[in-house]
Chains A and B, each alone.
Chain A
């Protein structure tokens, strides 16, 4: 990474305690525009808690967050969203009962004014939804098609398109590929690539090393609430990443019995 580029997000020594449980014990991370930064870690490593601190869901117990160089403190998810940090959650990205267009504009509905009355501008919402979906390569029956009728990968893509459309500068993806098949995973990772090329910083959370290596520029590994370091693409092998995630020793013996990288 060249030295002149400034990180869009800098998180320094983030700590988060839930009662007696220390979920994060001083985690630091920098994300640059146009890069895909993968956050890896096994279950319970603190990945989700960490990104929730960035997206305004949890307030960190200690530590600082800098966004575009300025210290930030998000009290609510809305604050983070309006600053340009959008999060696409693993299973909570969409409401299946609602139409694609209603989901697309959830929380950001376009309005048309009739005197003092503000109405939801369905025409604009429907038009933009169809356009954005077309760009991402998804064909809908119509903007009023319920999200419940879409596949998992399509839902992720709708959520990513939504975040990008609303001017996200930083896009956080929480295990976008965990429940997807091979083809759909490839589609989602291709979407991530498109987004990154638009100059948006992507934070990709995953515990799948192969998915991380396919899409990521840099990799940070979390283990039990701590950072185990950040690696550049090309400077690390899948085996090394895997070992860092799981603590190494035990997995090495497991792997030999399974015949390869998990």
Chain B
């Protein structure tokens, strides 16, 4: 090599960048900016509406947690280069399967839940296998499953109960160890204590007099945080995470270097189905019923959260933390507009604007990081 390019001198064409700028330029920046904007907006417009009281915080936290659960799955799958449009139908399907197995067929709740997870994760594998084997875009394959699963769900519910909503789940779930893992609450003692010392409001009247208005953290939120942490560590700190990036970034290159791309993609479809089933199980336990129309449009809400969070639609780039922030923005906006007393139809306008702004900002950031044109 010529002496003119000794590595110690560095390349004069590589611009030096400040530490601050380095720290700022990350895939989650769009999500972080969005969160600041959204909270600033609602602190101004809805501060006295109870949105930031204990009950209010819990309200939008639960909605955000729901989005987070499915966003984690959608995020990892999107980074691996695929879509799953059947998430919403999978949620409806999983709920009805739990209800039919437990209420109609009399299985113990834990068995019904485990069986549902096996069936749904298996369907996720079928989704992935079909995408890999046929080479069709996952958009098309999972669109087919969107209809197939929704149709099957309604059919199964009508055929067994002549109704599209199956109730009575709460009675079967009573005292079940696995049901508590999805429908229970944690830190109830802490919240009772906070209620006692006046940190949070307590009920003034009625049968629950003296109990705090918020009596614990629902397992739904615990699941959401656990999945976000799991997804983040998996993606950024494990070799499998590197394979996820590689499979979505360029499947052929990844194959040539020995990354088992097919296995990675099928596993991510299964993980997405797993997340959808967690969502469905939590929802069924919370409502005490399953509905054949549950989960409608959830696939798009998951994808929107992921995209607000900085992931690239074509795969290979993104962040689970970003997706979680996207889900939080989604939840806060949806519930916040309600608290602020804004006409609910404007929610979609607001969301569309945020989506657009976030994606423009994210595209700009990504180009700076990756040198993409």
Q: Which residues of A contact B (CB under 8 A)?
A: 55, 57, 76-78, 81, 87, 89, 92-98, 102, 105-109, 111, 118-120, 122, 133-134, 137-141, 146, 148-150, 187, 190
Contacts and interface: CB of A to CB of B under 8 A. Distances in A.
B7 A97 contact: no
Contact of B246 (A106, A140, A146, A190): A106
A94 B258 contact: no
B245 A97 contact: yes
B14 A141 contact: yes
Interface stretch (B217-225, B247-255, B291-299): B247-255
A106 B242 contact: yes
Contacts of B371: 96, 146, 148-150
Contacts of A102: 242, 245-246
Given A95-B250, A95-B253, A107-B254, A137 B5 contact: yes
B21 interface: no
Contact of B257 (A107, A150, A187): A107
Nearest to A183: B2
Contacts of B256: 55, 57, 77, 87, 89, 92
Contacts of A105: 242
Contacts of A89: 253, 256
Most buried by B among A106, A134, A187: A106
A137 B242 contact: no
Q: For chain A, what secondary structure do more than half of its interface residues adopt (helix, strand, loop), or is it mixed? A: loop
Most buried by B among A97, A138, A141, A148: A97
B316 A97 contact: yes
Interface string B307-345: 000001000110000000000000000000000000000
Interface stretch (B39-47, B128-136, B207-215, B233-241): B233-241
B369 interface: yes
Given A92-B250, A96-B372, A141-B14, 20 more contacts: A81-B257, A92-B253, A95-B253, A96-B249, A96-B250, A97-B312, A98-B245, A98-B246, A102-B245, A106-B259, A107-B243, A108-B258, A118-B239, A120-B239, A137-B1, A137-B7, A139-B11, A146-B371, A148-B370, A190-B1
B206 interface: no
B258 A81 contact: yes
A98 B370 CA distance: 8
B370 A77 contact: no
B10 interface: yes
A119 B259 CA distance: 17
Q: For chain B, what secondary structure do more than half of its interface residues adopt (helix, strand, loop), or is it mixed? A: helix
Contacts of A94: 253
Contacts of B7: 133-134, 137-139
A94 to B, nearest CB: 7
Interface in B1-22: 1, 5-7, 9-11, 14, 17
A139 B239 CA distance: 26
Contacts of A133: 7
A106 B238 contact: no
Contacts of A149: 370-371
B255 A77 contact: yes
B14 A139 contact: yes
B316 A95 contact: yes
A111 to B, nearest CB: 6
A119 B255 CA distance: 22
A137 B238 CA distance: 29
A78 B258 contact: yes
A142 to B, nearest CB: 9
A76 B250 CA distance: 18
Given A57-B256, A134-B7, A139-B10, A95 B249 contact: yes
Contacts of B1: 137, 187, 190
A89 B370 CA distance: 21
Nearest to A191: B1
Nearest to A91: B253
A109 B257 CA distance: 11
Interface string B358-373: 0000000000011110
B4 to A, nearest CB: 10
A225 B60 CA distance: 66
B51 to A, nearest CB: 38
A187 B2 CA distance: 9
19 contacts: A55-B256, A93-B253, A95-B246, A96-B371, A96-B372, A97-B245, A97-B372, A98-B245, A98-B316, A102-B245, A111-B239, A118-B238, A120-B241, A137-B5, A138-B7, A139-B7, A140-B14, A146-B369, A146-B371
A200 B206 CA distance: 83
Interface in B131-182: none
A153 B7 CA distance: 16
A150 to B, nearest CB: 8
Contact of B254 (A106, A109, A137): A106
A97 to B, nearest CB: 4
Nearest to B17: A141
A95 B237 contact: no
Most buried by A among B7, B9, B239: B239
A50 to B, nearest CB: 16
A172 B12 CA distance: 32
Given A92-B256, A106-B257, A106-B259, A119 B249 contact: no
B245 to A, nearest CB: 5
Given A89-B253, A95-B249, A146 B258 contact: no
A76 B259 CA distance: 11
Nearest to A101: B242
